[in-house]
Amino acid sequence: MWATDPAGFSQIGCIYSAQGFEFDYAGVIIGRDLTWTPTGWATVRQANLDPDQRSAPSFDTLVRHTYRVLATRAMRGVVLYAEDPAINHLLEDLGVPVLEG
């Protein structure tokens, strides 16, 4: 119950523990299983660490759905960070403000 317990503040969750909740603010780390290429979004099955997702026949759809759910849990604001620098550049190009720090 980390998501509802005040002691859970600043802890990391995942799709399974965040689904069904809404938070004021959230941060989402986009892992190496989703990348941006010159031709658009691509998923990388080998980079995903969740055995259930990795073995899913609809892996591409599942990964995209996972990040969509995580990115929409916050009601006031969300911070997106990607391990893939190309995604961070894409977000900047789209006008998403960069946090300086």
The pLDDT of 26-46, averaged and rounded, is 95
Q: Is the pLDDT of residue 1 over 90?
A: no
Please state, in angstroms and as integers, the Cα–Cα distance from residue 30 to each residue in 3, 5, 6, 44, following that order.
20, 25, 25, 12
Q: Give pTM, 2 decimals.
A: 0.81
Q: Is residue 98 part of a domain?
A: no
The CA-atom distances, in angstroms, between 26 and each of 37, 38, 97 are 26, 29, 15
- Per the domain annotation, does 48 fall within a domain? no
Residue 47 lies in a domain: no
17 confidence band (pLDDT: 50, 70, 90): low
Looking at the structure of the chain, the number of domains it has is 1
Residue in 70, 80, 81 with CA at minimum distance from that of residue 18 = 70
- Domain-embedded: residue 72: yes
**Is residue 68, in this structure, part of any structural domain at all?**
yes
Kindly tell me if the per-residue pLDDT of 4 is higher than 90: no
Dihedral of the CA atoms 91, 47, 15, 6 (nearest 10)? -80
- pLDDT tens, position by position, 44-96: 999 999 999 999 999 999 999 999 988 888 889 989 999 999 999 999 999 98
Domain region containing 64 = 18-39+57-79
